[in-house]
């Protein structure tokens, strides 16, 4: 089975540019950023509740605690939220303050039904966005793979990446890390006399 494409910086910029022209751009941007900046899976994005990301005082949390029903696995998990993603969540909430009225409700909702998305709907949204951005071989898992690969390229240890990816096995984490010919060439150039 072919793995989802890891996006380079230009492709991510192109994707985010396409998002700006969608009908629900703020919501769609946040969906994309949860994937690329936190490595969340489509099923996890779909299951996010307001209370998962916003404190009682209305502040954006630095840590998201996911219950087992919200994750791929059968255990509770925690996701560290970067400053950049916290800022994006804050912007989204400030533009959608009605969300704070029901902290048990889904963070990301369909405008039509006002209910949360299914994992499949999130996957379909990603498929649509990638098609519009003319990015081939990408899927809802591309953000997660890009998140993991970017951490690796920045020199973060595989053990730390494993924890951030919430993988039970380091072997799984290593399969997510993209290795291209350019990366191999750059690595060889690090060795010199």
Q: What's the confidence (pLDDT) of residue 1? A: 54
Give the domain extent around 185.
145-189
The C-alpha atoms of residue 129 and residue 14 are separated, in whole angstroms, by 10
133-144 residue pLDDT tens: 999 999 999 999
Together in a domain, 70 and 29: yes
Together in a domain, 93 and 163: no
111-153 residue pLDDT tens: 776 788 999 999 999 999 999 999 999 999 999 999 999 999 8
Q: What's the confidence (pLDDT) of residue 11? A: 96
Together in a domain, 70 and 138: yes
Model confidence at 108: pLDDT above 70: yes
Together in a domain, 108 and 21: yes
Quick check: is 19 in a domain? yes
Query: In 3D, which of 3, 4, 23 has the Cα closest to residue 130?
Result: 4
Together in a domain, 135 and 158: no
Q: Which residue has the higher pLDDT, 70 or 1?
A: 70
Hey, which of 51-65, 113-127, 178-192 has the most confident mean pLDDT? 51-65
Together in a domain, 28 and 110: yes
The C-alpha atoms of residue 32 and residue 126 are separated, in whole angstroms, by 8
Query: In 3D, which of 124, 133, 108 has the Cα closest to residue 20?
Result: 133
Structure tokens at 160: 């730390």
Least confident interval from 38-47, 76-85, 104-113: 104-113
Together in a domain, 57 and 80: yes
Quick check: is 2 in a domain? no
Give Cα 175 to chain centroid, integer Å: 18
Together in a domain, 28 and 106: yes
Query: In 3D, which of 27, 22, 100 has the Cα closest to residue 60?
Result: 100
Contact assessment for residue 11 and residue 74, using Cβ atoms and an 8 Å cutoff: no
Together in a domain, 29 and 50: yes
Q: What's the confidence (pLDDT) of residue 189? A: 82
Quick check: is 4 in a domain? no
Q: What share of the chain is helix, strand, coil (3-state, %, to 5)?
A: 55, 5, 35
Q: What's the confidence (pLDDT) of residue 187? A: 76
Quick check: is 100 in a domain? yes
In this structure, the number of other CB atoms found within 10 A of the CB of residue 128 comes to 13
Together in a domain, 166 and 124: no
Model confidence at 37: pLDDT above 90: yes
pTM for this entry = 0.90
Q: What's the confidence (pLDDT) of residue 188? A: 84
Model confidence at 168: pLDDT above 80: yes
Quick check: is 76 in a domain? yes
The C-alpha atoms of residue 147 and residue 161 are separated, in whole angstroms, by 9
Q: Which residue has the higher pLDDT, 191 or 141?
A: 141
81-97 residue pLDDT tens: 999 999 999 999 999 99
Quick check: is 99 in a domain? yes
Instruction: Look up the CATH number of the domain holding residue 72.
Output: 1.10.443.10
The C-alpha atoms of residue 111 and residue 188 are separated, in whole angstroms, by 51
Together in a domain, 54 and 89: yes
Q: What's the confidence (pLDDT) of residue 34? A: 98
The C-alpha atoms of residue 186 and residue 117 are separated, in whole angstroms, by 41
Cα first-last separation, the chain: 41
Together in a domain, 92 and 35: yes
Q: Structurally, how many domains does the chain consist of?
A: 2
Quick check: is 1 in a domain? no
């Amino acid at each position: 089975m072919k793995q989802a494409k890891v996006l380079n910086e230009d492709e991510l910029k192109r994707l985010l540019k396409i998002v700006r022209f969608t009908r629900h751009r703020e919501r769609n941007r946040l969906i994309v950023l949860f994937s690329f900046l936190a490595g969340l899976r489509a099923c996890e994005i779909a299951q996010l509740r307001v209370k998962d990301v916003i404190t009682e005082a209305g502040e954006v949390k630095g840590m998201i605690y996911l219950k087992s029903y919200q994750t791929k696995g059968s255990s509770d998990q925690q996701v560290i939220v970067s400053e950049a993603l916290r800022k994006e969540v804050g912007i989204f909430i400030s533009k959608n303050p009605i969300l704070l009225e029901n902290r048990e409700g889904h963070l990301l909702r369909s405008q039509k039904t006002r209910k949360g998305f299914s994992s499949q709907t999130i996957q379909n949204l990603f498929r649509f966005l990638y098609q519009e951005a003319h990015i081939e071989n990408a899927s809802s898992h591309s953000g997660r793979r890009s998140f993991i690969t970017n951490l690796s390229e920045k020199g973060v240890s595989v053990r730390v990446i494993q924890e951030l990816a919430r993988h039970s096995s380091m072997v799984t984490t290593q399969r997510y890390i993209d290795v291209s010919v350019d990366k191999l060439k750059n690595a060889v150039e690090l060795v010199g006399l």
